[in-house]
Structures are given as C-alpha cells and as structure tokens.
Amino acid sequence: GEKVEQHESTLSVREGDSAVINCTYTDTASSYFPWYKQEAGKSLHFVIDIRSNVDRKQSQRLIVLLDKKAKRFSLHITATQPEDSAIYFCAATSGGNYKPTFGKGTSLVVHP
C-alpha cells in the first residue's frame, strides 16, 4: 500500500520567514495530495491540496508544489505568523482508492 514519509518532524522559524515541509510518497497511482493543520489540543482541518494534473497551487500564503517524477510534494508557508504554529500533516490518496494515507506530522513553531 501507499506509504507517506514526512521528512521534518519539527520545524522552528522566526515570524515573517518562510517554512517548508516536505513529503514523499511511494505509490505512482496517487493523485490527490491534501494538507491538514492541527492546532494544539484540537482536531485537524483541511488547509490546501494539489492534484496530480498540476505542479503548483497557491492559496494566500500557502503554496504546494508537486514533483511527480520524484514522488515528492511540499508545503510552503510564506510570511509566517505565530498563528501558523501547529502540526501539519501531508496525505496522499490513490485515484479511486478513497483511503488517504497520512505522514507522521510536522510540528511547526513560529517564534515572534
């Protein structure tokens, strides 16, 4: 089955800097790559996604890049703010599979 590796377990940045979280996947059939955010003591909520028919997507300060050849995707958070501090999870879903596989999460801390 699909395996998703999330490379950074923790990440610390200064407010205003950019943060980058990298994930790799194993299944070439995976075609949908969402990101979720979990604030301290709370549940997860969706922040941004990318599908395999594009290699870049942006939503405000969030940018997702997808490199299908390398089976790698990344989340870039620009101009970070303290409220960006959270655990971020990447996930991958094979087309028609409906079984999202998650990475282990990256704990991002943005220092004022």
Partner 1 sequence: EAAVTQSPRSKVAVTGGKVTLSCHQTNNHDYMYWYRQDTGHGLRLIHYSYVADSTEKGDIPDGYKASRPSQENFSLILELASLSQTAVYFCASSERQGAGNTLYFGEGSRLIVV
The three-class DSSP label of residue 3 is coil
CA–CA separation, 94 and 96 (whole Å):
6
46 near partner 1, rule: CB under 8 A: yes
19 near partner 1, rule: CB under 8 A: no
Number of residues in contact with partner 1 under rule CB under 8 A = 26
31 near partner 1, rule: CB under 8 A: yes
What the block records as the tokens of 22 is 């990298």
40 near partner 1, rule: CB under 8 A: no
Amino acid letter, 19: A
95 near partner 1, rule: CB under 8 A: yes
